[in-house]
Amino acid sequence: LPDSCRTLCDCSEAAKTVKCVDGNLTAVPPDLPPYVRTLFITGNRLDCLPAGAFPAQRLSHLSALNLSGNHLRDVEAGALATLPALRLLDLSGNPLASLSPLAFGEGGSPLEELVLRGALRDHGVLLSLASVLQSGVLRNLSRLELADNGLLLLPAGMFTALPSLRQLDLSNNSLVGLRNVSFQGLGQLQSLDLSNNSLVGLRNVSFQGLGQLQSLDLSNNSLGMLRNSTLAQFRSLPALRRIELGHNTWVCDCAIEDLVAWLKETDQVVGKEALTCTYPDNMLGKTLLKINISDLNCSVPVDLPSQLQTSYVFLGIVLALIGAIFLLVLYLNRKGIKKWMHNIRDACRDHMEGYHYRYEINADPRLTNLSSNSDV
């Protein structure tokens, strides 16, 4: 047996498994047995995964590699490119700071499952992962787990080059929206987990192209409503059989009408009987399925633009009426107004003549002296 199987690792040739657990390893053991198909190197201190860490000539049958919890920060170019049989890679619980776009090589990887739970806290490494996924080197990937990473937003077009993806786990993050996220190209996706985030809406999310989607978990978010366009997308997905919507902050006003109607007719939603209102206060705790549309006073659809348009028309009518009344008053009082205008004209004429008389006196010295003597 290799030295590592005697001192550092637990090796089982019958199970074709090697476990190097909690051994304070700082590098991958160089003498791993060639029969290994499942390799656990966890709870160590690898820090860096350099190129050639796993020699292909010795590990040509390695199909499952677990490197979780190793304080791993850097995955260099070519570090995982020499494993022709690799199908599962688990890098969970590592504080990754650098992931080379060439970590899996250039010619394409056979990798089918990639687990990065709690490994993408650094925003820079998230962008690096997006570059890797968009390069097409992981076209065979069928399962991608990105849970527990505190993600707020996802890079645009991150999943567009993953045609074989069947399961996508984005749970336990802090996603507030999916505005830049496109699921187009994920024609094989069967399970999408978006639970335990902070999603407040799905207005710009398109599920088009997800013809194989079977399970969608939207629980434990901050969804207040689902628009009719989103519900129409759910109806158009032929394979979608399971939708989870529990523990969201449903706002039970007039906008909830479409959602309530859909819930009453669909059998896709798991536990729909437990969905309750959060706002407003008078609807708190009321079950969505028991809401009567008549209680919401929604006989007239709420359409803010049309309301504004109606208000402007009404204001115009009022102003026109005021103008007409003003003109009518002027017409009825035309004689009095004419007399009033004549009086003003005469008063102005007398006033101007007084100014003119004073000007003539001031301009003639004799009249000025006369005026002064007469004043005395």
Total-model pTM: 0.73
- State which residues form the domain around 274: 147-298
Contact 224, 249 (CB under 8 A): yes
Q: Domain check: are 94 and 6 in the same one? A: yes
| Mean pLDDT score of the chain | 84
Q: Domain check: are 137 and 153 in the same one? A: no
**Euclidean distance between CA atoms 199 and 219, whole angstroms:** 10
Who has greater pLDDT, 120 or 361? 120
Give the three-class secondary structure for 143.
strand
Q: Which residue has the tokens 């689902």?
A: 226
| pLDDT tens figures, 277-305 | 998 888 888 999 998 877 776 654 445 56
**Structure-block tokens of residue 172:** 């336990």
Length of the chain: 376
Which residues lie closer than 8 Å to 166 by C-beta, 6 or more apart?
Answer: 142, 143, 188, 189, 190, 191, 212
Q: Domain check: are 157 and 258 in the same one? A: yes
- What's the pLDDT at 357? 66
SS (H, E, C) 33-89: CCCCCEEEEECCCCCEECCCCCCCCCCCCCCEEECCCCCCCEECCCCCCCCCCCCEE
- What's the pLDDT at 299? 55
Q: Domain check: are 122 and 207 in the same one? A: no
Last residue of a domain, one of 248, 270, 298: 298
| pLDDT tens figures, 88-145 | 999 999 999 999 999 998 888 999 999 999 999 888 999 999 999 999 999 999 999 9
Please state the rounded mean pLDDT for residues 4-15. Answer: 86
- What's the pLDDT at 41? 96
Who has greater pLDDT, 143 or 332? 143
**Euclidean distance between CA atoms 52 and 59, whole angstroms:** 11
Band of pLDDT at residue 12, cut at 50, 70 and 90: very high
Q: Domain check: are 155 and 272 in the same one? A: yes
Please state the rounded mean pLDDT for residues 206-213. Answer: 76
Contact 29, 54 (CB under 8 A): no
Cα 220 to Cα 54, 171, 200, 211, 275, distances in angstroms = 40, 9, 11, 25, 12
For the ranges 2-6, 83-87, 184-188, 241-245, the lowest mean pLDDT is seen at: 2-6
Nearest to 240 by CA among 228, 248, 231: 231
Please state the rounded mean pLDDT for residues 200-209. Answer: 73
Residue 36 domain-assigned? yes
Domains held by the chain: number = 2
Residue 228 domain-assigned? yes
Statement: residue 369 has pLDDT above 90: no
Q: Domain check: are 166 and 283 in the same one? A: yes
**Euclidean distance between CA atoms 154 and 198, whole angstroms:** 13
Residue 315 domain-assigned? no
Single-letter amino acid, residue 163: P
Q: Domain check: are 129 and 207 in the same one? A: no
Last residue of a domain, one of 90, 123, 141: 141
**Euclidean distance between CA atoms 141 and 158, whole angstroms:** 13
Please report, for the domain that includes residue 99, its CATH number.
Answer: 3.80.10.10
Portion of the chain with pLDDT greater than 90, in percent: 40
Residue 305 domain-assigned? no
Q: Domain check: are 130 and 185 in the same one? A: no
Statement: residue 65 has pLDDT above 80: yes
- What's the pLDDT at 87? 97
- What's the pLDDT at 300? 47
Nearest to 244 by CA among 262, 280, 268, 278: 268
Residue 180 domain-assigned? yes
Band of pLDDT at residue 375, cut at 50, 70 and 90: very low
Residue 221 domain-assigned? yes
| pLDDT tens figures, 140-194 | 999 999 999 988 888 888 888 888 899 999 999 888 777 667 677 777 889 999 9
Q: Domain check: are 119 and 181 in the same one? A: no
Last residue of a domain, one of 141, 172, 189: 141
Statement: residue 311 has pLDDT above 80: no
**Residues facing 75 on adjacent strands:** 49, 99
Q: Domain check: are 171 and 135 in the same one? A: no
| pLDDT tens figures, 257-280 | 889 999 999 999 999 999 999 988
| pLDDT tens figures, 17-64 | 999 999 889 999 988 899 999 999 999 999 999 998 888 778 999 999
Q: Domain check: are 136 and 155 in the same one? A: no
